[in-house]
Chains A and B, each alone.
Chain A
């Protein structure tokens, strides 16, 4: 069951970027890629998202593959 109120019954990748790249447990000195490195990737993807066609494509992709598999 996927409870959704949205009239766009889909998951936008921008939502996911704000979470997976910007939040989540940040560990710790000994991980091989720094937080600063991930921030760079995040900024790069944000720029990519600024193109509207790309944003629509990303939403489509997210809808197709961002669901739980049961």
Chain B
């Protein structure tokens, strides 16, 4: 392990950073990009192999070697800038290409290795292009305000109102148990309302999507809001279907806002969640 390091870290050595891959129509000359790369003085270049074009930058191994990158996680500022640059480049390419995004910091030793990889994985890449087409990924998150939802149910639900009336008219001795019964009934209705909103919204939005992927719900530290996140999903939506998708989301928002629900839309994103199925169930791809 220590034997490999000096070679990777050599100051004059460069490696190749890959942002993503697109299909090139046959015979079409690729226009120069004039795009700033992942770092200064590393413009985005096109590397063509057969009908595929990889978008790449040549970067110094002293910054993008495997061990250097692991050390770089101490420098959050630097890493943050690079992640934003990676995204910015993919978004800029999106106006001209249907790009299959690569993971942040996918790095090869040289251009020949990238070219080889494109040729060897042509079939998988073709599958990814067919799967994504001209669609974009959109993120939809569902939040709810626990207090608002409880209040709404306490007012709107007849069984809950009845329980509350019984409770207020009860003797002090009976109150304890009735209070418990009331709380349990209210909790159950809260849970049912969340499930209903979630299922209903998923079903209506899925009608406009090529595919849907469920994402892990974020913690409050991640989303930074006072409400609780109850759903987080990525939808792969064709260009032509997007207006319907957006309209449906606005209708859902109007329908569920009074109960304390709030939908949040983010995007468009490169189709990250729809090109990475290899990862699941294939731990073998982590070999180095």
Q: Which of A5, A18, A41 contacts B264 (CB 8 A)?
A: A5
Separation in Å of the A25 CB from the closest CB of chain B?
A: 5
Residues of B within 8 A of A13 (CB): 80, 83-84
Which of B249, B276, B278, B288 is packed against the most chain A CB atoms within 10 Å?
A: B288
B80 close to A21 (CB less than 8 A):
no
Q: Which of B224, B262, B272 contacts A55 (CB 8 A)?
A: B224
Binary interface encoding of chain B residues 14-44 relative to chain A, with 1 for a CB under 8 A from any of its CBs, else 0: 0100101100000000000000000000000
Cα(A6)–Cα(B142), bound, Å: 11
A25 close to B101 (CB less than 8 A):
yes
B70 close to A40 (CB less than 8 A):
yes
Q: B175: CB under 8 A from chain A?
A: no
B8 close to A11 (CB less than 8 A):
no
A3-B246, A6-B265 known; A24-B66 Cβ under 8 A: no
A20 close to B103 (CB less than 8 A):
yes
Residues of B within 8 A of A48 (CB): 76
A16-B83, A37-B70, A70-B95 known; A8-B102 Cβ under 8 A: no
B263 close to A5 (CB less than 8 A):
yes
Q: Which of A19, A34, A50, A65 contacts B272 (CB 8 A)?
A: A19
Q: Which of A37, A59, A61 contacts B224 (CB 8 A)?
A: A59
Q: Which of B70, B103, B263 contacts A23 (CB 8 A)?
A: B103
A69 close to B88 (CB less than 8 A):
yes
Residues of A within 8 A of B69 (CB): 33, 37, 41
Cα(A27)–Cα(B76), bound, Å: 25
Cα(A36)–Cα(B21), bound, Å: 22
Binary interface encoding of chain B residues 197-234 relative to chain A, with 1 for a CB under 8 A from any of its CBs, else 0: 00000000000000000011010011110000000000
Q: B113: CB under 8 A from chain A?
A: yes
Separation in Å of the B279 CB from the closest CB of chain A?
A: 5
A5 close to B92 (CB less than 8 A):
no
A25-B276, A37-B70, A41-B69 known; A49-B221 Cβ under 8 A: yes
B-side residues, CB < 8 A to A, are 8, 15, 18, 20-21, 65-66, 69-70, 72-73, 76, 79-80, 83-84, 86-88, 91-92, 94-95, 100-109, 113, 116-117, 120-121, 125, 128, 137, 139, 215-216, 218, 221-224, 242, 246, 249-250, 253, 262-266, 269-270, 272-273, 275-276, 278-279, 285-288
Q: List 8 A-B contacts (CB under 8 A).
A: A12-B223, A18-B215, A18-B216, A28-B121, A32-B109, A41-B105, A55-B221, A66-B87
